[in-house]
Structure 1
Amino acid sequence: MRQTTGGLPTTFWYLWTASLINRTGAVAQIYLGVYLLSVRHFDASYAGLVIGLGGIGTAVGALPGGIIADRWGRRPAMLGASVPAAMTMLALGWVTSQAAVLVLAWVLGVFLGIVRPAFTASIIDVVADADRVRALNLNYWAVNLGSGAAALLAGLLARIEPMLLFAMNAGVLLCSTLMLALKVPETRPAAQVAKAGPVGLGVVFRDRTFMVFVGLTLLGWTMIETNKMLPVALVADGLDVTSYGQVIVVNMALIVVGQLFLPGLVARLRQEHVLAASVMFIGVGFGLVTLADTLGAYALTVAIWTLGEMLMTVANSALTTQLSPASARGRYQGVFGCGLTAAMFLGPTLGGWVAERLGTDTLWVGVFWLGLVLAAANLAVGSARARRTTLLRAASTAVHEAVRQADTRTTGHPAHRHRP
């Protein structure tokens, strides 16, 4: 545990705490579908549309969020979007019009999306290069730990007073924003400020190596998000639909127990091998759903694809830092975050379409074969990623040296490295 958590700067732990607070208090986000069905008495298709629009809004917001983080800094993006997000959350709990709910869900998603690239970039900024994978995995662990607590808390609040879901969610957003405002300084690297230039998204979209990485991650995460179709398979096997909660808890438990220690176990492996293994585990896990017919068998399938999810997260944490130039870190995180969020929409949408028209067995077999294809693709692009990482490391060293020499000429002595 000391090796996993030790040696990280204080600023990181404020960011980590903000993640834990936000996810623990994200009770309205977790229970939104239940709220729309049981409190507002809207139909299931409308509830799905609301949740889908929120996901699209988050994906859309990640793109300007990355630009803001690079142009004006991490703090303007994080602090400027969190407060209106909290206000929108409160409004979402008050309105009753279907049109208003749709609009507010999308707007809320946009504000939340703006925050994410700056938040991730801040973690990368303040942590030393050798510790970044460890730090990002700690943050992922906090998100899952908080989400598990939020699921329990949301059920309690919903029984007392549904409006409490939105009030608490808005309150924790404001509390974490206040903590970030008081404790987390601007972290944008001096090298990025010195190398100021165009801050559009073109620099990211023209980076073929990175965009291939985003595309493969999008497909891999889409596989994971097809787990939303597991209730259909459970019901088809004569199990109660509420059994989904009992089997999906395996996912959260394994991540909370194992995610902290997995980076050290795979540190000596090549990233393309880790990614290839991850999508194979995901494909096998979902492929075995075709054979599962008991609660224990379904839990085993969840355990297998969860291992793949954990491996993918470790490798992605490394690659998002290594493939993102310091001068465009916010934009790179924005595009990557957009891809992940899009998968959260595509997985259930495409999965539902295939399950309805071709059957759930076809869906799970398709996910299995997609895993094999993605494993081969990740192995094929591994050498290109390694070359790109080497070039970026050399360029970063050159920029830092140029900044150091400029400071030396200005002040008459070498600049001391500042670590927030």
Structure 2
Amino acid sequence: MSLAALRRAARESVSGLPREFWWLWTSTLVNRLGAFVATFMALYLTLDRGYSATYAGLVASLHGLGGVVSSIGSGVMTDRLGRRPTLLIAQSSTAAAVALLGFMHDPVAIAGVAFLVGMASNASRPAVQAMMADIVRPEDRVRAFSLNYWAINLGFAVSSMAAGFIAEVSYRAGFLLEAGMTAVCAVVVFLKLPESRPAVVTSDDGKRAVDAVGLGTVLRDGRFMSVVGLSFLVAVVFQQGSVGLPVAMGEAGFTPADYGTAIAINGFLIVALQIPVTRLIEHRDAKRLLVVSSLLAGYGFGLTAFAGSVGVFALTVCVWTLAEMINAPTQTGLVVRLSPVQGRGRYQGMYTLSWSLAALVAPLMSGFVIDRFGAAWLWGTCAAVGTVAAVGYGALMRRVPDGQPAGARAEAEPAVGDAEADVTAA
């Protein structure tokens, strides 16, 4: 492909998206560029503070539990208070909690503040996804979600490399840098992002539409909850890249450096290929994409059972990374299609919950299966779970109209140029 063709492809990938999206994208990128703590938390607790690996695992679990707790609450806040206030509260709270964590010495205090950090940092996700759905036209949403996912991985790749150098100087400096960059995100939201929540509609009996869409509405939505369940299955499989794979490689005699070499392929491929892959999948059938990505994820990890060298491990990472690049924007777009406009926050919160729960379940699953049956059974289980998810998506998507909001949710979308008239203040 010529340089001119590459430039044209890049221009087409980023054109047509509203200015508000790019400020939101910038906030996401800055946030991930400063995500140092998650990278070196285990090393900080074991090497710098001298705590056991068991205690470090407990702190990581509490951090994940905080995300589970906040998923639903932040979704409700997103609908009731608005997207912008929820983002401001979440990012300001994250900055304060991360800074505080750097000064904690008592093990109980460290565990408690880690739980708060998990709650605060996860609370922004439903608001970001709901705001993105509000401000981006339906036909551009897959591309927008993909660009946002690309920013997440680009920022995390850079911050992961920087974390090692920062830790050599001072772990506390890492906490304060992350707090400072998260505070910058809050400033960007405050200065550049208007509230995007659709105008509150009142019915003839005076009941607000936002009040009519409660958590019970979400839980009774069988089609959407099926998506949440399938998302959980896929997320459990993807989580094995960070929880099951390093353990299995260690038991097979590979070094941490070998694991680092193999898993680095994941971030490199996403940064290099996410935008081209999005151009290929943007207008394709969501059902086929979700089925294919589930199979690639399951059998990509399944192939790990036959890996005997770092090169083969890296090849399996390539397979499930392709699944990740296809699944992430497609599934997020499906969640938006199935969500009523006035309940996007709650629906996104429930979707976020599926990934938070997977982050808790996956380590328990991988440890139990490897200890009891061996690593080969874990990879076989991943292949089976991926197959179940693929069959589930195939059956579910037969009942979802292609390219249109599901069922009664086919509501008029505001034109991008008329956004100011169709949003309300927080």
> Above 0.5 in TM-score?
yes
1:343 and 2:352 aligned = no
Which SS does the other structure have where 1:190 is aligned?
coil
What is the aligned counterpart of 2:126 among 117, 140, 165? 117
Q: 1:166 to 1:272 in 2, by over 3 A?
A: same
Determine if contact 1:215/1:339 at 8 Å carries over to the other structure. Answer: yes
Q: Which sections of structure 1, spanning at least 5 residues, go unmatched?
A: 402-414
1:201 and 2:215 aligned = yes
What is the aligned counterpart of 1:418 among 412, 417, 420? 420
Cα distance in 1 between the residues matched to 2:155 and 2:414:
37
Deviations 1:329-373 (A, max 9, x none): 111111101111211221122111111121111111111122112
Kindly provide the amino acid, as one letter, of the partner of residue 26 in structure 1: A
Cα distance in 2 between the residues matched to 1:197 and 1:5:
36
Cα distance in 2 between the residues matched to 1:416 and 1:151:
40
1:213 and 2:227 aligned = yes
Cα distance in 2 between the residues matched to 1:24 and 1:363:
33
What is the aligned counterpart of 1:391 among 401, 407, 413? 407
2:376 is matched with 361
Determine if contact 1:85/1:111 at 8 Å carries over to the other structure. Answer: yes
What is the aligned counterpart of 2:28 among 13, 19, 24? 19
What is the aligned counterpart of 1:78 among 87, 104, 108? 87
What is the aligned counterpart of 1:156 among 165, 172, 181? 165
Give the % identical residues: 35
1:272 is matched with 287
2:195 is matched with 186
Q: Which sections of structure 2, spanning at least 5 residues, go unmatched?
A: 1-9, 203-207
What is the aligned counterpart of 1:144 among 137, 143, 153? 153
Which SS does the other structure have where 1:259 is aligned?
helix
Deviations 1:214-252 (A, max 9, x none): 100111110010122212222333221221111001111
Deviations 1:169-215 (A, max 9, x none): 10011111011101101110125687342453111111110000010
Deviations 1:266-306 (A, max 9, x none): 23432121111111111111111111111101000100111
Determine if contact 2:135/2:419 at 8 Å carries over to the other structure. Answer: no
Q: Does 134-143 or 238-247 show the bigger shift?
A: 238-247
Kindly provide the amino acid, as one letter, of the partner of residue 405 in structure 2: T
Determine if contact 1:117/1:333 at 8 Å carries over to the other structure. Answer: yes
Determine if contact 1:192/1:326 at 8 Å carries over to the other structure. Answer: no
Cα distance in 2 between the residues matched to 1:235 and 1:68:
43
Deviations 1:374-396 (A, max 9, x none): 211111111123388342453x1
1:92 and 2:94 aligned = no
Deviations 1:5-51 (A, max 9, x none): 11111111111001100101011122111211111111111111111
Cα distance in 1 between the residues matched to 2:321 and 2:228:
20
What is the aligned counterpart of 2:323 among 308, 312, 315? 308
Q: 1:77 to 1:276 in 2, by over 3 A?
A: same
Cα distance in 2 between the residues matched to 1:240 and 1:114:
36
Q: 1:400 to 1:156 in 2, by over 3 A?
A: closer
Cα distance in 2 between the residues matched to 1:278 and 1:380:
15
1:252 is matched with 267
Kindly provide the amino acid, as one letter, of the partner of residue 237 in structure 2: M
Cα distance in 2 between the residues matched to 1:416 and 1:231:
50
1:7 and 2:7 aligned = no
RMSD of aligned residue pairs (Cα, Å): 2.0
1:409 is matched with none
Cα distance in 2 between the residues matched to 1:416 and 1:53:
44
Q: 1:393 to 1:201 in 2, by over 3 A?
A: closer
What displacement does 1:90 show?
1.2
Determine if contact 1:137/1:317 at 8 Å carries over to the other structure. Answer: no
1:292 and 2:307 aligned = yes
2:3 is matched with none
Determine if contact 2:13/2:275 at 8 Å carries over to the other structure. Answer: yes
Determine if contact 1:67/1:199 at 8 Å carries over to the other structure. Answer: no
Cα distance in 2 between the residues matched to 1:158 and 1:203:
46
Kindly provide the amino acid, as one letter, of the partner of residue 266 in structure 1: I
Determine if contact 1:93/1:163 at 8 Å carries over to the other structure. Answer: yes
Cα distance in 1 between the residues matched to 2:330 and 2:201:
25
Q: Does 307-316 or 291-300 show the bigger shift?
A: 307-316
1:262 and 2:307 aligned = no
Determine if contact 1:322/1:392 at 8 Å carries over to the other structure. Answer: no
2:239 is matched with 225
Kindly provide the amino acid, as one letter, of the partner of residue 420 in structure 2: H
Q: 1:178 to 1:125 in 2, by over 3 A?
A: same
Deviations 1:96-131 (A, max 9, x none): 111111111111111122221112111111111111
Cα distance in 1 between the residues matched to 2:78 and 2:276:
31
Q: How many residues align?
A: 405
Cα distance in 2 between the residues matched to 1:38 and 1:196:
49
Which SS does the other structure have where 1:217 is aligned?
helix
TM-score of the superposed pair, with normalisation by structure 1: 0.92
Cα distance in 2 between the residues matched to 1:92 and 1:24:
19
1:166 and 2:175 aligned = yes
Which SS does the other structure have where 2:51 is aligned?
coil
